[in-house]
Chains A and B, each alone.
Chain A
Amino acid sequence: MDLSGLYESLSALPVGELTAWQSFFVKFYRAWFLNDRWLQYFDGLLTTIEVTAAALAIGVALGVIVAIVRTAYAQRRPGTHNPLLAVIDFIFKVYVTVIRGTPMMVQLLIMGFVVFSSSRNFTLVGALTLGINSGAYVSEIIRGGLMSLDPGQAEAGRSLGLSYIQTMWYIVIPQAFKTILPSLGNEFIVLLKDTSLISVIGGKEIVYFARAIVARTYEAMFPYIITAVMYLIMVMAFSYLQSILERRLRASDRR
């Protein structure tokens, strides 16, 4: 007997007469196969991936800019004064403080229902909010990496006549990247999982569809476990890729 036939015959029986395994099967069938619901999870998965990618792009771009400006300001030549840099540094400091000092969920609610209350594109608003949120954390990770490098490295670059930008680009950033990669990967995983929050403002990712299916089947276990497994698989796949990259970057210190 095929699955749908089995389901038809079992669901026709009164609930009380099913064995535990049969009732498991019926619930799982409703959460996954019935009405091609599994397609909805993959719809949601696609949105999750899109939102993560967009938020990551925004977050890394913002994070790099904020980190470089704040590092440049912190390491400016003593005695020189650049009022523009000072103002931008102050604005970025406020940005990092506000974003890190308020919950992600509250930021989403404010962005979704206050700032962009007239927008219907909840997914995009969610991605933007996540990106802005992530940028604050990424900037602190990058800043830590840039500041933690032995100052002698930058001095060696500058003493050869390389400019500040060249020294950053060829000497400081490649080394800092290696040290921040684990934290950056961690931040990426947090970001991936935080996309689940955008369902509160109507973003149509996995959790959104899982909740819709729960609402229709009155059965919570399987939709949410399926959701959890999907996140777990994504995170494990990413961690694997990250470990490959880290091993490759470590090539120069092992020899």
Chain B
Amino acid sequence: MIDVKGLTKAFGDHVVLQGIDEHIYPGEKVVIIGPSGGGKSTFLRCLNLLETPTSGTITFKGVDITDPKSDINKHRQKMGMVFQHFNLFPHMTILRNLTLAPAKLLHKSKSEAEAKAMQLLDRVGLADRAGSYPSQLSGGQKQRVAIVRALCMEPEVMLFDEPTSALDPEMVGEVLDVMRSLADDGMTMVVVTHEMGFAKEVGDRILFMDGGVIAEQNTPAEFFDHPQTDRAQAFLAKVLM
């Protein structure tokens, strides 16, 4: 579904990604873990071109989206993204947060977009907050709304950039539950996270990124029980104490 070839990214002289080749298959749940500064988030943000790659190509459903002639806005509609800091629009109600993009881009009527939004909001248990503003919600609620906002565009792949890292510990569970149920529905997911339990349980494949490369990848069972590289062993020793 997403094919990455020779992806590099440098910020000035600082090389963050040094040549990544990877393929993400439809329906697959790929979990990216690794130490900070290893390029996890940059890699994820390159997938929908929030970061412009320095070199290399990204092909989404057969179209090279790194080609300047391709309409990136069209492709982004099919790639939902969830951010660490939620990035809800604070000047709009929850319902308007959810319906803005569908109404503008999917040529849906207001009532259609709202019906869809309410249905999804109900699924994450927040239908009663439709008229609230983001500042009235807890972190966990905001992140659930942010997931619904991405889902309202009916994406084919969902990108999660450390979705639980900014949350209070007691709110992590409610967000992971939503992600778990999304995974059960067969959504293609690429998740950058520090939640090892979630990675083990939901992931089909673990990518361990360190130093701007995918240092190791394997199934969760193999990766967590028998890490091959020294770097992965050292990392797991620290996080799985």
Residues of A within 8 A of B (CB): 77-80, 150, 152-153, 155-163, 166, 170-171, 174-175, 178, 252-253, 255
Contacts and interface: CB of A to CB of B under 8 A. Distances in A.
Contacts of B105: 160-162
Interface residues of B, number: 32
B68 A80 contact: yes
Contact of B101 (A78, A155, A160, A252): A160
B121 interface: no
7 tightest A-B CB contacts, nearest first = A161-B77, A156-B87, A160-B101, A159-B81, A152-B87, A161-B76, A252-B133
Contact of A252 (B50, B77, B135, B149): B135
Interface of B: 48, 50, 52, 68, 73-77, 79-81, 83, 85, 87-92, 100-101, 104-105, 132-133, 135-136, 146, 149-150, 153
Most A C-beta atoms less than 10 A away, residue of B74, B85, B87: B87
Contact of A255 (B77, B101, B135): B135
B103 to A, nearest CB: 10
B91 A175 contact: yes
Contacts of A77: 52
Nearest to A171: B89
Given A175-B89, A255-B133, 13 more contacts: A150-B87, A152-B87, A155-B50, A155-B83, A156-B146, A158-B73, A159-B79, A160-B80, A160-B100, A161-B76, A162-B105, A170-B100, A252-B92
A157 B134 CA distance: 16
Contact of A166 (B90, B104, B133, B136): B104
A145 to B, nearest CB: 13
A152 B133 CA distance: 18
A158 B83 contact: no
Contacts of B79: 159
A170 B132 CA distance: 18
